[in-house]
Structure 1
Amino acid sequence: MNDLKVIEYRNIRVLTTQQLAEAYGANADTVTKNFNRNKDRYMEGKHFICLKGDDLKAFRANGQIDLLPNLNTLYLWTEKGAFLHAKSLNTDKAWEVYDHLVDTYFEAKKPLTQLEILQQSVEVLNRHEREIQQIDTRMDKLEFDIPLYGSEADELSNHVKRKGVQVLGGKQSEAYQDTEIRSKVYRDIYDQIKREFGIYDDTGRPKSYKALKRKYIADAHELIDCYEAPTYLMELIEVANAQMNLGVA
């Protein structure tokens, strides 16, 4: 009886008919006959679980307990079922098993002290806090992996315009007034942003700068600040602005 072990089945603590029979020092048939006589008193799920077919194969494969190879039906006794079964046998040995179950395996929980309640509450709060932090971290990561918000896209566009005006020599410059040169400068700035941050679709075609991921906002603004027009554009700008200066002279 001291070897009687409670096992787990679908998060329920149970014993098998075979275990109880061995604990009673009785034949398993005796336990089964007692069960059949009192079956109406045992509500399945609350007092016992009947395993057959695939359920029994799965339980046997789990290897929690040795079962007879020719066994085709197995009853698992829940806590209440084991108590009721021992009472229904009403033998000295059965009552010994009953006391053993109560004292060793299914001992009623003692009321928690205020300190234990507080400790459990703190553990629950800490667990919830960790879960919330994990959710916040995932949300932050997700938020920064999405494209720019509308206001952020506008801010980036305005930054490109300001940089373009600077590179072209001001809004009054001949280079700025030349729409072809101006568009080439702006397009080159946007192209550098797209190359730097991989703003392309699956076919390799460039997408709108608005598809820039939010996590790259600061880097994109820094790139714009550091932008320098390539040599061929600088030559176009210098020639255009030189013509303006000659005209003024």
Structure 2
Amino acid sequence: MWWSLDERVERTVVLNGADAGEVVGMVGKIGRKILEEPDEPKYRQLRLDSKALSTKVLGKPGGRELLTYLGFRNAPGALTFEADLDHLRRVVAWCEQPPALERPQVELAVRLPRGTTVRAAFRKTETVRDVLEFARRYYATGDLVLQTAAPKETLDDALTLEGLAPRSAVVVAKVGALEAAEEAMDQARREGLAREQRERREMDDAERKRRRAALARKEAEARARKDALRHFECDREETHDRVERERRLRGAADRRTSDPGMNE
């Protein structure tokens, strides 16, 4: 073991590189205020909307882990101190005189079974087993497997031999979870294919109905035009006959007017 305080704290704080001392020093000041005035409520609660806290501690790798180890716990909109003062004194002493934190040789972004991702530093001589043990101690339980392109079977190979240095993203999954995930993905693909086929059939049915409706409208319009033309022809013939009758009547009337003898 190469950590002097807490594995999770040091594996994450060291990722700050040259700024690690500032993060540790800021947390040490927070703890020192509680030690000096342990009954002062304002020192025992940290507001999450504090810009200084967010930028100088919570926004830095390991900042939240160090506050948690110091004794702060989540509360609505804040972090509340709930640890005993003896533990606090030990952690504050470490923060005020931290050992030299060596720069990380291997930086891993470890995706955990619950879906969250934690960044942590490892030495290049550490092994796949060390990564799994770290995940098991702090974030997951049960039998675990490390996955990059494929599950790692050589647990005692150094991280450099596994091609994970200097930076890599890995997945820690429970044994059997990968197979279950693959089966779930296959099932999702099958359901997606069935849904796609069903939607295609529905679209084809809708298209056939649309075409039948369009054909019916076209036939109805043709019948309407034919009926309109027939009515027009009938109206034209009737109009022609009426005009002819009126013309003959006017002709007869004109002849009687021009020949008075026709009226005797």
**TM over 0.5, yes or no?**
no
- Higher helix content, 1 or 2: 1
- Higher strand content, 1 or 2: 2
Q: Normalising by structure 1, report the TM-score.
A: 0.29
